[in-house]
Structure 1
Amino acid sequence: MFDWIWLSRVAGLGLVGTAAGSALFFGILGRTVFLEPNTRHLNSEAAIAPGKTQAVTLPPQPLPLLTLPKSPPASEVSQKSLPVLSRPFDLKQSLSTYQPLFSAPTSLGMVAIGVAEGNYRLFIENGNLYVQQTRFYFGHTDPGNLSWGDVVTNYGPCSDQGRSGGDIALAEQLCLERSRSRLPTHLVDLNEAGIDPERDLEALLNVADLYNQAMPIHSRHFPQALAIAKKGGLKGIDALAWARTASFYLNVNNELDLETGSNKATGLLGICARENLPITEWDCVYKDQLRRVKAIASVVDKYRQIYQSNAN
């Protein structure tokens, strides 16, 4: 299938420009920093944050990712301007690098998922970044499950689907275990699709969040969809949101197929139907995926700002 057929799904969507560039990450040896907020909440009540404010503890070793030049801005940096890493893919090394992202509820990977879920709010104060639990952290009804009449309460930083039974410590543990257990699959899938996860942190964080949000098959297809988006000329946020949306289009063989496949995001489609939104199935899913991509990008971008500020 030609790429233009797949990419035709983006026509008329009014895609926004890339806000955080090409997904770069910077490690600070032995330092703890805080993260600044994504200002979007699920609703106005999310501004009520009864949870404690905590630091995000970074991995003990700097992550081997590329730093941005001071100019041009991150939003103007293209993939072509970045040097190509010559090292071969090493799963063991990549796991050692990225497992710390999911070592604690306030590690960067879990923070990114929590912000996308609306379970964390982030804010800046006196040059530092802070993360705080919103009220949704302590229990909220998953709107997607309502689409098929199932009432499920989520707890903790991720979508725990009620597995913890309301025990917050258990919810945090389950979120971490589930994210860590899938990390090898994410890394291998990204590499096989031609996407180096150590050059594209936002791709890794988005596939981890998609696994948190939806059925595992969609996160398995995300790397392939992202490769198609990039080959077709999409970049940054545009490419990530398109790929996340495309991953829900599967044919009868559960293969990625935008031409003959159907949209399997039943939970999101049910929400749009309940709200009587006059939009297409693609737009319904894309709207949610774009929101989550932006939330994750804001975490990486604000961390980058703090890193650059401390480095000066």
Structure 2
Amino acid sequence: MSLHFEHIDLHGRPHLRLTAADGARADVSLHGAQVTSWQPADGRERLYVSPLASHAPGKAIRGGIPVVFPQFAGRGTMIKHGFARLLDWQFRGIEYDVGSGPAAAFELRDDAATHAHWPSRFQARLHVVLDPACIEVGLEIRNVDDAPFAFTAALHTYLRVDDLMEASLHGLETARYLDSARAEAHMPATGDAVRFGTETDRIYPDAVAPLTLRDGSGVVQITARHFRDTVVWNPGPELAASTADLGAGEHRHFVCVESGTVIEPVTLAPGENWSGVQRLRALPGSA
């Protein structure tokens, strides 16, 4: 198995284009180490990026797979979703001793920009693996400080759908959830697949069972390792229309299914590591 890369410019920002032996392709922006495109060998784009997304320095890219670290959403005193998605990472080459195959490796280390938000010293690494019909994204955090620190993290994955009204997410039927659209009200399991239309903003604690997103013409299977929680989000029509980097009607083209550890923070002692992995597998619509 091989993984080739080339440096390209997209939207005025440096990216890595990764190509697997079977023709699968992924683009990763060095801004945030954010995967902005994933096309399996069938050539169909499986990630969503808003046509109004900002690619300016210091701004979050709306879409793809943003890296959320060291804080999820507003659950803390830091900037929403942390700073990892707002900073430039370094490409460290192709590595062969991590993940399930050769992986493109990206790194972020603490510096003055991170210390403005968080005093801790850390090393973050992101690994991107392309397998036949699959992409695997792994996030690793290492404490290089002299004191323990705690954090939350997630891969805020925007999955493209042809028609939101036909989309359904399976695998969470028996899971309770927090409804973030209703001040994190505690909600019981619904017994049904998740369907969309109005604003959906749910955190499923301790729910990382294999999930399947169906939208009529395609299927994506989602699995995770070492993440504890699942977040499901779609802004619905009103919030999308009022969001500057989305716009009216854009909510119909994606569903966010996020693998994360967002309820109970991870605490690392000096020298300790933590890692979490999300794996996406694309299948035909009839699967």
Q: Same fold (TM over 0.5)?
A: no
- Which structure shows the higher strand fraction? 2
TM-score (norm 1): 0.26
Highest RCO, 1 vs 2 (Cα 8 Å, sep ≥ 6): 1
